[in-house]
């Protein structure tokens, strides 16, 4: 397994981050519906636990939300380790776009 842990500072409150995160998940499911399956997500207080399969590989993790700050932790399959840098870059770019 390859692990990713990213943090991001934002001007948004925890509630605003949660709302935007929900939209992000819905949009990703629409855009990548042919590649993503078995999506599970559950908010427990200020932590979103998630898991899904992408192109047959299992991904899981959590997003911890606080006012003006979020942390994303994900476990990627070994096969994705070679793409870890690109995956991290995509996550950082999306975080900057959605959570300014």
Burial of 95 (C-beta count, 10 Å sphere; 0-12/13-18/19+):
buried
Residue 76 structural domain? 2-98
Number of domain units in the chain? 1
Q: Whole-model pTM? A: 0.87
49-86 pLDDT per residue, tens:
999 998 888 999 999 999 999 999 999 998 888 888 99
Distances (CA, A) of 7 to 1, 30, 33, 46, 92: 20, 26, 27, 15, 9
CATH number at residue 14: 3.30.310
Contacts 24+ apart (CB under 8 A), 61-65: 61/4, 63/21, 65/14, 65/17, 65/18, 65/21
Give 9-35 pLDDT, tens digit per residue. Answer: 999 999 999 988 877 777 777 888 888
Residue 2 has pLDDT above 90, yes or no: no
């Amino acid at each position: 397994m390859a692990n990713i842990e990213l943090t991001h500072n934002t001007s948004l409150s925890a509630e605003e981050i949660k709302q935007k995160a929900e939209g992000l998940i819905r949009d990703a499911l629409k855009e990548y519906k042919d590649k993503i399956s078995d999506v599970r997500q559950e908010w427990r207080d200020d932590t979103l636990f998630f898991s899904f399969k992408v192109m047959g590989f299992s991904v899981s993790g959590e997003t911890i939300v606080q006012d003006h700050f979020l942390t994303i932790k994900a476990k990627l399959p070994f096969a994705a380790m070679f793409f870890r840098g690109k995956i991290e870059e995509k996550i950082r770019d999306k975080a900057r776009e959605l959570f300014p």
